[in-house]
Structure 1
């Protein structure tokens, strides 16, 4: 059941009652999540208890970090199930910001607030799961038994062993059948009511940044984008002043000297060797200015991007200094702004791989669920982390204004996998 559409777009689903077509998935949610939630909570509690017991030995802290990570994983699994079975997709929380050093890593892992929110969700959902099984299960069993009682009465001539269903005469069984039909008719509504509670609980504790957090994030990214644009303009101005402009000034001076030499009016007094030297130097300045202007323009918008990401990234790979295989699998061409971000991010990641790994790397660009994804992997020594002022931090900052996310998996010994995800406009 849907409400009226305001201003076009998809119809707005009413809070109550629920659409009959969703009831089957909601019932599946009650069964699957009803079993999964208690099991996940039990595993997390046991792991946490083991971590507390082993804490005096030092190893327990690592077990605690693993238990907290398990909380986050359980929350992520429930969040995905909420989107599939309850038709209520939730935004994933931001990744944990890890810093170099074992102590900082442990503090970041154990203090992961989204993991603890997921733990709170598992605790609060436990009574909801039991209530769902008890109420919905009781209605279903009673409804089926009571509805079938007029037929079963001929075989039992007595009470059924559930809910005191009994009638001395067959006409009395019809009343029980009527009650069973009512119970079965009410079952979808009860299932939907329980699903509403689960939806609200998941939105409250498993969803990513809320509206206020989102507004603050947009303010921060807007400020970052403005600051980045200002820095780029200043860099362009500095490069023009110190590079191409200086070359053009030198060229003008040399051509001016050559002009003065030729303006003497007496061919015998003209030092042709000096004139040739000045013209050759001015020609060299002009070529250098063109090179610097071309490099500057390439830094603003690489010409290779006009032919698409596949060609542009293949061009970068040929000059990366390592073996770099490029795979671009996109059903449609992304917006130019996102292409530029992916291009520079891939170029920086290939440079990092050449600098720190030296091993062949794989660059892959694809699209999945309206998300443009760039992944760069290599089999180097690993140990890559996001640190302020570093190359990976710069890539993360470049992704922020477009709601992009950077994930780094680089255990000691490798392999290293860096993934950048950018949501595509609908």
Structure 2
């Protein structure tokens, strides 16, 4: 080790007893010592519940409750770590199970819950040992280091350390100084071990952090793409579309002027045909442009999801019961995806299902945007290919493909952006899913779910 590096290291070692990091580590140890007591009891309760679940069914619900409480430990220990150590980590992901049985299964198979329970079990012994050694080292060091001072006013044989003469107090003070120099590492090294436990048991692992970064990046890219499309839609509507309308009006005026010209003018008939064809081409181009603009962002969404879906239902030609329960509006990307899904499903219901009634519900409960479209038609929609999810009426289904049946799911087989395959692709672009339940004889239910992370972030 070079002399240039010895100097700073020695200064750091000598200053460690008064360094802020040392006292933050001691404070963190003492605070988490008291916090670790109920957490340790929770871990013991998990052991009891696990043992009971082997012989009695009553132990299993208890274990589910204990694991659910252990998930809270991720946030429980986060605030002292953030306040005193500057260390933070995200909370656990929302459980995906639905219903009591599904949620219980999700809790029992949740890795973060079991790891949090392990941390609850380990934190109390580590905090207790660190607090005991740290406080004892601090007290012994302070009493010994100040021995020459208090030995002046306290009889040598009556103080906390028995002395035979005053010069011995300086020997004790030297030992106290050594203890005080060691004290910071008594509390800081276990804190490093605790950081390791946090990274291993509470914080998401490298793979989970990478997935979170990728999901965040995907959400940002999706939002940016939606913003770009909205800007393109405005430019097409306010610029190109307006110019085509103006051109069409000019051609209409030219057509009227040409029609008033005498028929004996050379080439007049051909000119009239060219003008009429040009005006028709402009009209067709304008119609296609409007379809493109509506495909980018339906104007109906400007009035909100409930109005847009109610309008879709009114135009479908079938009685459609629409119910929208949203705490706040979804993002543009999510709203557009849900709107096109509802439009596609209602269209296919009218064309193929033979249904007489349709229910369309949009909610945002359980941390998920959920669009459910149900008809009372013939059912029997059989997913094929890849993308959508299928089911038999008893569950959410597994991943399957586009519909090839007679219910809601019967879509265009050729267009990648239409039918269930296209809807599934739209949902997956926002980390969502499409599920189909269509037993023979009906009813047919199609559910599109999108995570709340697809919301616009203010």
Q: TM-score range by the shorter chain?
A: 0.5 to 0.7
Match of 2:30?
31
1:284-328 CA distance string (max 9 Å, x none)? 7555323202112337xx9x9xxxxxxx7xx5468456698979x
* Other structure's SS at 2:205 match: coil
- Cα deviation, residue 346, structure 1: 5.5
Normalising by structure 2, we get a TM-score of 0.51
Paired residue total: 307
Q: Are 1:420 and 2:422 matched, yes or no?
A: no
- Cα deviation, residue 171, structure 1: 2.3
CA distance in 1, matches of 2:424, 2:26: 44
Match of 2:83?
84
- Cα deviation, residue 116, structure 1: 0.8
Distance 1:169 1:385, change over 3 A: same
Q: Are 1:186 and 2:186 matched, yes or no?
A: no
Match of 2:404?
none
Are 1:142 and 1:180, in contact at CA under 8 Å, matched by a contact in 2? yes
- Cα deviation, residue 150, structure 1: 3.3
Are 1:143 and 1:181, in contact at CA under 8 Å, matched by a contact in 2? yes
Are 2:43 and 2:121, in contact at CA under 8 Å, matched by a contact in 1? no
* Other structure's SS at 1:420 match: helix
Q: How does 1:154-303 map to 2 (within 5 A)?
A: 154-161=153-160, 165-210=161-206, 212=207, 285=284, 287-298=286-297
CA distance in 2, matches of 1:121, 1:393: 40
Distance 1:221 1:177, change over 3 A: closer
Match of 2:410?
none
CA distance in 1, matches of 2:157, 2:425: 75
Are 1:139 and 1:187, in contact at CA under 8 Å, matched by a contact in 2? yes
Match of 1:398?
430
- Cα deviation, residue 39, structure 1: 2.3
Q: Are 1:356 and 2:361 matched, yes or no?
A: yes
Are 2:39 and 2:121, in contact at CA under 8 Å, matched by a contact in 1? no
Unaligned runs of 5+ in 2: 1-11, 226-251, 270-275, 311-323, 342-358, 371-387, 390-395, 397-422, 433-450
- What's the RMSD between the two structures over aligned residues? 5.5
- Cα deviation, residue 83, structure 1: 3.4
1:364-418 CA distance string (max 9 Å, x none)? xxxxxxxxxxxx7xxxxx5776888599997685269xxxxxxxxxxxxxxxxx7
Are 1:386 and 1:392, in contact at CA under 8 Å, matched by a contact in 2? no
CA distance in 2, matches of 1:81, 1:62: 31
Match of 2:126?
128
Distance 1:147 1:221, change over 3 A: closer
Are 2:331 and 2:456, in contact at CA under 8 Å, matched by a contact in 1? no
Normalising by structure 1, we get a TM-score of 0.54
Q: Are 1:40 and 2:43 matched, yes or no?
A: no
Match of 2:98?
100
CA distance in 2, matches of 1:94, 1:73: 9
CA distance in 2, matches of 1:76, 1:202: 12
Are 2:46 and 2:67, in contact at CA under 8 Å, matched by a contact in 1? no
- Cα deviation, residue 114, structure 1: 0.8
CA distance in 2, matches of 1:202, 1:384: 26
- Cα deviation, residue 69, structure 1: 1.4
* Other structure's SS at 2:147 match: helix
- Cα deviation, residue 419, structure 1: 4.2
* Other structure's SS at 1:170 match: coil
* Other structure's SS at 1:356 match: strand
CA distance in 2, matches of 1:37, 1:325: 37
Match of 1:345?
334
Are 1:100 and 1:385, in contact at CA under 8 Å, matched by a contact in 2? no
Distance 1:291 1:66, change over 3 A: same
- Cα deviation, residue 66, structure 1: 1.8
Unaligned runs of 5+ in 1: 1-15, 230-254, 271-276, 305-311, 328-340, 359-375, 377-381, 401-417
1:246-273 CA distance string (max 9 Å, x none)? xxxxxxxxx9xx9xxx9xx979xx9xxx
- Cα deviation, residue 138, structure 1: 0.9
- Cα deviation, residue 205, structure 1: 1.7
